[in-house]
Amino acid sequence: MATASEIRVRILQLGRQVIDHRAKAGETVAQALAATRIEVGPGMDLRVNGAPAEDETPLRDGDVVTIIPRIKGG
């Protein structure tokens, strides 16, 4: 169980990996990705619990961050 100063976040990098990350309370999406050494480049969508997210979106205990590559089509 996470402590008051710690949260647990799951990071899903579609098609690549799933990481269970222990973070400090108040950590942002960008900080969690940096801590897990995941780079998000152009053309990638970030979601937290299915909703669109930005680098500075704060995370809470139990959140799921999903990194989705944009699909090219024509």
Q: Give the model's pLDDT for residue 14.
A: 83
Residue 52 CA, chain-centre distance (Å), reads 11
Domain spans of the chain? 6-69
Q: Give the model's pLDDT for residue 66.
A: 96
Which fold is adopted by the domain 6-69?
Ubiquitin-like (UB roll) (3.10.20)
Between the CA atoms of 4, 40, 68 and 15, what dihedral angle is there, to the nearest 10 degrees? -100
Residue type, 16: R
> How confident is the prediction along the chain (74 residues), in pLDDT tens digits per residue?
556 689 999 999 987 899 999 999 989 999 999 999 988 888 889 999 999 999 999 999 999 999 998 776 65
Q: Give the model's pLDDT for residue 74.
A: 58
Q: Degrees (nearest 5) of the Cα angle 4, 1, 19?
A: 100
